[in-house]
Amino acid sequence: MKFEDIKGSYDLMVGLGCWCGPALHLRRHNLRKFSFPLDWVISNSLPDVSRLLKNRFQGFMELKNMRRTEGYAHFLDDGHAIFPPGGGTEPVNAHFIEDTYSNIVSVHDFPVIPNQDWKVLYPSYKARLDRRINRFLEKITNSPSILFIRWGVTNPTEAMELKSVLSEMVPGKFNILILNPVPGLQEISPMDWGIDGIATIQVPLDNPNDDSVWDYALQGLTITDRWK
């Protein structure tokens, strides 16, 4: 599918990782209406994402499979930084918590609180995650047209697997837009893998949060008022 053929209006647009970029920039372009389970996590492996989708998120982020790993990010509420209750100019930090079942890392959900184990806040986190999962499954089932967006896919076979899994989940029409970061690339370059329903653009690797890259990727897209 050629990049220009993916342009148009959709009832729903969904970020599928591998980081927060799709959610952040869909929101910046007023194309995002809901928070979904893969918005604020690191999901480097597309086969793991496809497996998770195929299993409809069963077993995802179960406490028995979660462990704290190296790294910190800002504590966010659906992408918005949370600051200390007593004031301050720096947002609260959050632990990196890995789900060893899915190989996906929560990076914004478990705030660093002195003398408090991250597990204390797990029940409220899991309740919020379950709402996002249920919302995701409900919206993709009831949206006549959907655009899924994924950053970081270099293997057409993995992209085809994702499409196959989504075909079993989505009754309506859908397309997939892939942003493929390439080391040393200076300019954005559309490419065509020859797969129906999947459009791919090669983008520079150096700055994944470059507004101009996402402006290019999201140009010509609009969202309907089906979900007000």
User: Has residue 90 got a pLDDT over 80?
Assistant: yes
User: Has residue 89 got a pLDDT over 90?
Assistant: no
Q: What is the pLDDT of residues 26-50, one digit of tens each?
A: 999 999 999 999 999 999 999 999 9
Handedness of CA 183, 45, 40, 1 (dihedral sign): positive
Q: What is the pLDDT of residues 171-181, one digit of tens each?
A: 999 999 999 99
User: Has residue 153 got a pLDDT over 80?
Assistant: yes
CATH of 3-57+133-223, one of 2.60.120, 2.40.50, 3.40.50, 3.90.25: 3.40.50
Burial class (CB in 10 A: 0-12, 13-18, 19+), 161: middle
Per the CB < 8 A criterion, the answer to whether 20 and 116 are in contact is no
Q: Which residues contact 13 (CB under 8 A, 6 or more apart)?
A: 26, 31, 32, 146, 147, 148, 149, 221, 223
Which tokens belong to 66? 């979660």
The mean pLDDT of 7-18, rounded to a whole number, is: 97
**Residue 155 DSSP class:** -
pLDDT of residue 228: 80
Give the integer Cα–Cα distance in Å for 203 and 190: 9
Say which amino acid occupies 114: P
Indicate where the chain has its CATH 3.40.50 domain(s).
3-57+133-223
User: Has residue 87 got a pLDDT over 80?
Assistant: no
The mean pLDDT of 15-30, rounded to a whole number, is: 96
Q: Are strands 189-191 and 198-204 parallel, antiparallel or unpaired?
A: antiparallel
Give the integer Cα–Cα distance in Å for 81 and 210: 19
User: Has residue 79 got a pLDDT over 90?
Assistant: no
pLDDT of residue 54: 98
Band (pLDDT 50/70/90 cuts) for residue 156 is very high
Give the integer Cα–Cα distance in Å for 200 and 95: 33
